[in-house]
Structure formats: C-alpha cells, structure tokens
Amino acid sequence: MSVDIHPDRYCVHQVTLMEQCDFRAAVEALPRAGIGKTAVWRDKLDAVGVETGRKLLADHGVEAVALCVGGLFCHRAEREFRAALDANRRWLEQAAAIGAPSLIVITGGLADFERDLAGARARALEALGELADDAAATGVRLVLEPLHPMLCGNRSVIGTLGEANDCLDALDRDDVLALALDSYATWWDVELDAQIARAGARLRHFHVSDWLADTRDLRLDRGMPGDGLIDNRAIRRSLEATGFDGPVEVEIFSARDWWRRPADEVLATIVERYRTAL
C-alpha cells in the first residue's frame, strides 16, 4: 500500500479547468476544494497579465509550482529558432514574476524539419543549451517534459524519459535543467522504472491523469486518475523511491468530459482520487 498523499501536495493544473475557469475563477476554486497549488498556463496568465496573476495567486494563497508550457523551439530556420528562444526568455521572466520555480518545456514537433527527426532533436538540444544561462539568470529552472510518442509529429520529438535523460546527460546543466514525468505520456514504457531511477533528483514535477480504454483523441481525451489503465500509484511509488516528495499534479485535457463539468465537481473528484487512485 502507498502512503496517502498529504493535502499539501495537492496540485491541479489550470488546464484541467480549461473551459470552465479563467485565471481568477481557477484561483478562487482551488482553495474551496482544499487545493493550494497549481501550474499556471500561459494563455490564462496572458489574459489577466502577470501582475494581476501574481496578485490573484497571493490573495488566494495559491502557489504556482510551474508555468506551462514553454519550449516549442524546433524550428529549422534560424529566425524562427531565435524568436522561439526569445519567447522562452520572456516566459522564464513571467515564471519568475509569479513566483513559479519552473518553466515546463516541450520541444515542439517536427514542424518545418519535414522528415528529419534527428535534426529536430539536435535543435531541441541546442535550444536547451542556449537557454540554460537564461534560466540561471532568472532563477527559474527549465523542466523538460517528454510527451507521448503519438505527439512526435506536432508537439514533442522527445518521447521517452530515457531520451530526456540522454539530453540532460549531454547538456550537463543539472543546476538549471530538470525533468517532468507525466504518467499519461510514459506509462506504456517498459523502461519507465529504470529511467525514473536514473533520473533521480532531476525529476521535479509529476503530472498525473489516466489513459481511457476507449481513448478517442490524441491530445484532448485524458481521463481522471482511477478511470483508466494507468497504475498511477505504482508510478508514484517508483518516483518516491528516488526521494521525490513534491506535488502530485493533476493535468487533464478532456474535451468530451471533464472540461464540460462544473469546476467544483472536477476538483472534488480529484480530491477523492488523491485518496483512492493516486
């Protein structure tokens, strides 16, 4: 049996309430459910502005554990690549401004690399290397998140924790680079436990949701923990064996179900699943 998750570790990403709540409504709803942490999503933050966002978090006692999602720097053309790096520098500053210690980054997909997957991966590595000093300057770590291999074409050319570990080995900047583990992206991987152990203290974020047996969409059909096929509890055990004791972050993209329910119902369900499925 796993040890219960202390309520201090409850954390719900703003994207989990994407359709129901703007920034303010999300920040108001979380404490009502006993949830004190969130990951801020850039479009929500942009809609209110950084200063208002920072103040709303502070006023409601909600801690931002990360800003999502940065990266998206897989461009072959130098001009677009430079523009993407500059955007990430702004996002690092935004993260610092709202007190978030991490910017979660995904590489972006093949984009204009056509079929040159190795080239796109090299570009991702180059981008992380270039941004490391900016991360150090802002005091915000860059957290690389591998996505599910089904998103290789359009969201992330890094599809396993092993590959992400290889990137961090190559860059040797563990002072400012870290990793995020998303159970939905990685649950299928026979190497998962071994790569979690290898990552060790690099793993600073743990995202959870569930894989529905009748999944209908490649991005927007994630399930509530407990409703699908992922043994989230076993993954948590594996992660905690490395010493991890950070938040358990519920991140659900669900166009057909959870985005259509009242925010309080979604959050109450999550709190129940912290006890029964996570």
Please give the residue ranges that form the binding site for its own copies (CB under 8 A): 110, 114-117, 121, 148-150, 152-154, 157, 159-160, 163, 166, 187-190, 211-213, 215-216, 218, 228-231, 234
Residue 159's nearest CA partner among 167, 149, 150, 168 is 149
CB of 152 to its own copies, least distance (A): 4
The phi and psi torsions of 212 (rounded to 5 degrees) equal -75, 140
| Distance, CA of 48 to CA of 192 (rounded, Å) | 38
Q: Is the CB of 46 or the CB of 188 nearer to its own copies?
A: 188
Contact 56, 27 (CB under 8 A): yes
Q: Is the CB of 51 or the CB of 112 nearer to its own copies?
A: 112
**Beta carbons within 10 angstroms of residue 21's beta carbon:** 18
Q: Is the CB of 5 or the CB of 152 nearer to its own copies?
A: 152
CB of 188 to its own copies, least distance (A): 4
| Distance, CA of 260 to CA of 227 (rounded, Å) | 17
CB of 111 to its own copies, least distance (A): 10
Q: Is the CB of 85 or the CB of 152 nearer to its own copies?
A: 152
Q: Is the CB of 53 or the CB of 146 nearer to its own copies?
A: 146
| Distance, CA of 275 to CA of 259 (rounded, Å) | 22
The phi and psi torsions of 138 (rounded to 5 degrees) equal -90, -10
- The counts of H helices and E strands in the chain are 10, 8
CB of 117 to its own copies, least distance (A): 7
Contact 158, 189 (CB under 8 A): no
| Distance, CA of 89 to CA of 105 (rounded, Å) | 12
Using the CB atoms, write b or e for 162-195: b if 16+ within 10 Å: bbbbbbbeebebeebbbbbbbbbbbbebeebbeb
The phi and psi torsions of 103 (rounded to 5 degrees) equal -110, 115
CB of 217 to its own copies, least distance (A): 8
**Beta carbons within 10 angstroms of residue 76's beta carbon:** 15
Q: Is the CB of 93 or the CB of 163 nearer to its own copies?
A: 163
Q: Is the CB of 79 or the CB of 115 nearer to its own copies?
A: 115
Q: Is the CB of 79 or the CB of 216 nearer to its own copies?
A: 216
